[in-house]
Amino acid sequence: MIKIIRLLLILITLGSCEGIKSELLEGKWAGTDPNGNYMELWFGDSLALSYLGGMEEFIVYNYDLSGNRITYSVRESFIPTRETFDNIVGLLNNDSLVLEYSMGDGTVISYSYYRLPGDVPEISGTGLLKNEKAYRSMVSAPPRAVPPQYEVMGFDCQGFTTPAVYEFREMIEQEDYDEIESELISGNPAHKFLAIVVLELLDEQGIHTLSSTRREYISQEKISYQKLFVCNADQVSTYRFIEIFQDEDIILREAREALTFPAASASPLEGG
């Protein structure tokens, strides 16, 4: 009798998995990753969009639903990620979604989501750089101003320069050009941005000549999608390197002016 009940339960489970409908999957879902960071997953007709709150990043996927398996292929992403991967749908109803992801070592991680109200916004398969600000405005939980792995940079942040700018002004005054050049490979986007601006100014003025290798490296960094958090007055905005350098944004002009003639009266803003 027990064996018969177990068999019935297995058949019911298999039947429910085979009966997964894309119409039920479509919509906006929210949850948290294993580190407790907020995340959202939007499913449209054939495109999905993932919002990773811990990094403040979006990824656009093509997806295909077959049985209880969702296969994703990356369409656009500014961060390194697997090009293709699968989720197994462990649970799907009007309110809840559980997705299982198998790691390379055989470990299975379950992600639990709850359905958000409203229709899924239109997801574009191209133009993530252009659309990410609009996507961010539609995220249900307010994004954090600055994720912890980033440093804010600004020339007039509540009346002060931020520590990164102050540090570079000191290096310029001390003519510590090798130290500035070493910041090109920094994992800190604020330091990397300031190093690019200062080194290009020094190279233009014939004060510190860059090698052809360094110039090529800088050229590639300037068209990258690295994020820069910029403080202006009492607001913090997010930019990509490619936006700032290709459009000759006002941030770039401010940086070139501020770092050419260091302001001795400026004092650092404690705590970023």
User: What tens digit of pLDDT does each residue of 158-174 get?
Assistant: 878 889 998 999 999 99
* Sign, Cα dihedral of 78, 81, 82, 84: negative
* CATH T-level fold of 18-138: Lipocalin (2.40.128)
Please check the confidence at residue 28 and state whether its pLDDT lies above 90. Answer: yes
For residues 255 and 262, give the distance between their C-alpha atoms in angstroms, rounded to a whole number.
11
Residue 81 Cα to chain centre, angstroms: 11
* Residue 42: Cβ within 10 Å count: 24
Task: Report if pTM > 0.95.
Answer: no
Residue 109 structure tokens: 């991680």
Beta bridge partners of 166: none
Percent of the chain with pLDDT over 90: 51
To 10 degrees, the CA torsion angle through 177, 217, 195, 151? -140
Q: Which of 210, 238, 216, 235 is nearest to 225 (CA)?
A: 238
Sign of CA dihedral 97, 101, 107, 109: negative
Q: Is beta strand 96-102 parallel, antiparallel or unpaired with respect to 108-115?
A: antiparallel
Tell me which residue of 120, 123, 122, 124 sits closest to 140, measured CA to CA.
120
pLDDT, tens digit, for every residue of 46-97?
999 999 988 889 999 999 999 999 999 999 999 988 899 999 999 999 999 9
The side-by-side arrangement of strands in the sheet containing 152-157 is 152-157, 227-233, 235-240
Which DSSP letter does residue 116 get? P
Q: CA angle 40-46-52, nearest 5°?
A: 20
Output the average pLDDT for the chain.
Answer: 84
How do the domains of the chain map onto residue ranges?
A: 18-138, 152-260
What is the gyration radius of the CA atoms in the chain, in angstroms? 24
